[in-house]
């Protein structure tokens, strides 16, 4: 299984030939752990190529990447932060702030630590 997108690089062009044997690729669907994924499959050697988006979808749906559903709390849309991220970023509920940056591919949440108990 190979990712067709080089890391950190936007690529709009889809590969049309196999990087291993040079044969034509054809759109196909595969089922992995109950998740149906679109891929490009080599007609000759059977190599399957997945886009980064499809890989992420697979990781989220199989629980390999932490994913949380948005929900409403009063008039606001809220999201629960996975405990592993809270620990890693040392988020202190009731004290720290979250600021948001809208990015082309999603949302960046910056954690601002308040200094009230650090002085
Ligand atoms: Zn091939």
Spacing, Cα 19 to ligand 1 middle (Å): 7
Spacing, Cα 46 to ligand 1 middle (Å): 6
* pLDDT, averaged across the chain: 87
Give per-residue pLDDT as tens, 52-90.
899 999 999 998 888 888 999 999 999 999 898 999 999
| CA distance linking residue 88 with residue 66, whole number of Å | 14
SS3 label, residue 64: coil
Spacing, Cα 108 to ligand 1 middle (Å): 38
Report whether pLDDT(34) > 90.
yes
Give per-residue pLDDT as tens, 23-32.
999 999 999 9
- Give the per-residue pLDDT at 27: 95
Task: Label residue 28 exposed, middle or buried (CB < 10 Å: 0-12, 13-18, 19+).
Answer: middle
Spacing, Cα 25 to ligand 1 middle (Å): 8
Spacing, Cα 47 to ligand 1 middle (Å): 5
Per-residue pLDDT band for 115 (boundaries 50, 70, 90) equals confident
Question: First-to-last CA distance in the chain?
Answer: 51
Domains of the chain, residue spans? 2-61, 80-112
Domain 2-61 has CATH 2.20.28: no
Radius of gyration of the chain (CA): 20
Per-residue pLDDT band for 117 (boundaries 50, 70, 90) equals low
Report whether pLDDT(6) > 70.
no
């Amino acid at each position: 299984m190979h990712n067709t997108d080089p890391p950190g690089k936007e690529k709009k062009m889809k590969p049309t030939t196999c990087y291993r044997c040079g044969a034509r690729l054809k759109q196909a669907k595969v089922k992995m752990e109950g998740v149906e994924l679109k891929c490009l499959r080599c007609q000759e050697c059977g190599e399957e190529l997945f886009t980064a988006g499809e890989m992420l979808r697979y990781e989220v749906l199989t629980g390999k990447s932490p994913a949380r559903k948005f929900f409403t709390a009063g008039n606001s849309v809220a999201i629960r932060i996975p405990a592993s991220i809270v620990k890693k970023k040392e988020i202190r509920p009731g004290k720290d702030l979250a600021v948001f940056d809208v990015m082309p591919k999603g949302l960046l949440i910056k954690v601002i630590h308040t200094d009230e108990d650090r002085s």
